[in-house]
């Protein structure tokens, strides 16, 4: 066992222990506050709804523990116990081209990992979501979605993977700059294509009909100086009872999307306020800031991989006998979350800051009181806990906890 193996196992143990500890804190905190509605919501959320949210959170937490144990076992099997090494040797013995052998090994491992995660996803959908009244999916639709996702991953991802591996082999020590540029260009292209090419493969998007709601939203867009390619209603209710709204796309290919069950739940003024919040992310340049952040962190990741790729201890420490570009790429993508885990609270902090800024923008262009009432309805209908553990929330939550967010909006109003 070399030094890097020891470092990896130690870091992995610390991260895993922290994850389980935080999850235990969250479950205990939610359970301790299960029987009393927080003061800020006494007039708007019933005790029954609050308890349902607590029970739903606890059920998902239990499933999360199972997923974490599964993830621990899978990562250890793939790395120090030689799973990746076995698959790469299996493909190398049968495929003459090193490039295609590497692509095939990564594809096979990705397929095996995806298939192994289906039982947990199935349980989450057809047991937990069903128990709490959120599941609208069917087994046939579930299987169809899984097949389509795998097909898209293969059809789009494998050519990009092959190109990156070819770049790694062909352009010398600066390969990581070229690979980063290709990956970021591809990500931008996918963001631009997603609204009109990818998303319609999974859901139906219907242009919003003329009427009072469309007139109100069009007025909001005009006030905010936001141009889009249309306002659409998505049939989200065919899979889930959870409602949402978002805008998607880049450049001249932006779309505003409301889930159909959200439109059914909120009144027109609440929908306007929710959309004003989403527009706030755009007007405050949060999308651009996130793209820049992602670009920088991806560049750093490729630079680190560029340094590690010719180090024998990197491969040997993770159970791989024969170094290759494809193995390095896969190993790095698997272990990077372990070594960057404690950066997560920093990312979550800035995401919550963006949410506050978007709320402030919404308060200037719509009624803050309507955003409050709309959010409360969403918290209740989505069974979002009103009492998360503060430390857990600061570590994981990309949105401010309900009570904190509502207090901020009421102060703004």
- Determine the pLDDT at residue 214: 86
CA distance 268 to 233: 14
Residue 351 has pLDDT above 80, yes or no: yes
CA distance 322 to 276: 54
Give the pairing of strands 245-248 and 231-234: unpaired
Q: What's the pTM? A: 0.91
pLDDT tens for residues 61-116?
A: 999 999 999 999 999 999 999 999 999 999 999 999 999 999 999 999 999 999 99
pLDDT tens for residues 151-164?
A: 999 999 999 999 99
Structure tokens at 108: 């096979």
pLDDT tens for residues 223-279?
A: 887 777 678 899 988 899 888 888 777 777 777 888 998 888 899 999 999 989 988
Evaluate whether 378 touches 41 at the Cβ level (below 8 Å): no
Angle at 117 between CA 111 and CA 118, to 5 degrees: 95
217 vs 180, more confident: 180
CA distance 387 to 373: 18
Closest of 103, 271, 115 to residue 279, by C-alpha:
271
Cα–Cα separations (whole angstroms), residue 30 to 38, 88, 237, 298, 394: 12, 45, 28, 36, 15
- Determine the pLDDT at residue 40: 87
Give the pairing of strands 245-248 and 205-207: unpaired
278 is known as an active-site residue: yes
CA distance 79 to 94: 22
DSSP result, 186-241: HHHHHHHHIIIIIGGGTS-EEEPPSSHHHHHHHHHHHHHT---S-EEEE-GGGTBS
CA distance 385 to 56: 8
pLDDT tens for residues 19-77?
A: 999 999 999 999 999 999 998 899 999 999 999 999 999 999 999 999 999 999 999 99
Contacts of residue 286, defined as CB under 8 A and 6 or more positions apart, other chains included, come to: 354, 357, 358
- Determine the pLDDT at residue 340: 96
CA distance 343 to 214: 41
**Order of strands across the sheet with 231-234?**
205-207, 231-234, 255-259, 245-248
Q: How far apart are the first and last CA of the chain?
A: 60
Band the pLDDT of 186: cuts 50, 70, 90: very high
- Determine the pLDDT at residue 18: 98
Q: Which of 355, 359, 380, 389 is catalytic?
A: 359
DSSP result, 281-330: HHHTTHHHHHHHHHHHHHHHHHHHHHHHTT-HHHHHHTT-SS--HHHHHH
Evaluate whether 182 touches 164 at the Cβ level (below 8 Å): yes
Q: Which of 129, 270, 278, 389 is catalytic?
A: 278
- Determine the pLDDT at residue 209: 85
96 is known as an active-site residue: no
């Amino acid at each position: 066992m070399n030094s890097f193996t020891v470092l990896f196992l130690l870091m992995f143990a610390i991260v895993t222990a922290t994850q389980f500890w935080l999850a235990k804190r969250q479950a205990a905190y939610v359970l301790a506050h299960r029987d009393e509605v927080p003061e800020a919501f006494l007039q708007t959320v019933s005790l029954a709804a609050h308890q349902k949210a607590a029970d739903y959170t606890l059920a998902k937490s239990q499933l999360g523990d199972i997923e974490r144990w599964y993830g621990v076992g899978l990562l250890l099997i793939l790395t120090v116990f030689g799973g990746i090494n076995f698959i790469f040797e299996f493909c190398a013995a049968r495929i003459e081209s090193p490039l295609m052998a590497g692509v095939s090994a990564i594809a096979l491992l990705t397929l095996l990992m995806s298939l192994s995660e289906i039982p947990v996803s199935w349980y989450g959908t057809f047991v937990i979501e069903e128990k709490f009244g959120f599941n609208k999916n069917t087994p046939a639709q579930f299987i169809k979605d899984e097949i389509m996702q795998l097909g898209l991953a293969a059809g789009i991802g494998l050519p990009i993977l092959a190109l990156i591996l070819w770049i790694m082999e062909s352009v010398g020590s600066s390969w990581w700059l070229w690979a980063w540029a290709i990956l970021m260009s591809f990500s931008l292209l996918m963001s631009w294509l997603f609204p009109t090419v990818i998303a319609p493969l999974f859901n139906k998007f219907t242009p919003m009909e003329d009427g009072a709601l469309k007139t109100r939203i069009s007025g909001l867009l005009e006030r905010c100086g936001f141009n889009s390619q249309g306002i659409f209603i998505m049939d989200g209710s065919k899979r889930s009872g959870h409602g949402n709204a978002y805008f998607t796309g880049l450049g001249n290919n932006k779309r505003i999307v409301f889930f159909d069950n959200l439109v059914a739940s909120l009144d027109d003024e609440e929908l306007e306020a929710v959309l004003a919040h989403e527009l706030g992310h755009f007007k405050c340049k949060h999308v651009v800031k996130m793209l820049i952040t992602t670009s920088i962190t991806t560049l750093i990741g490729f630079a680190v991989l560029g340094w590690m790729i010719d180090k024998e201890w990197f491969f040997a420490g993770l159970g791989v006998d024969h170094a290759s570009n494809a193995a390095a790429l896969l190993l790095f993508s698997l272990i990077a979350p372990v070594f960057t885990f404690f950066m997560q609270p920093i990312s979550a902090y800035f995401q919550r800051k963006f949410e506050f800024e978007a709320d402030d923008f919404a308060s200037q262009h719509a009624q803050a009181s309507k955003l409050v009432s709309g959010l409360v309805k969403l918290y209740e209908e989505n069974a979002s806990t009103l009492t998360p553990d503060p430390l857990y929330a600061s570590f994981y939550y990309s949105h401010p906890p309900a009570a904190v967010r509502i207090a901020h909006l009421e102060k703004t109003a």
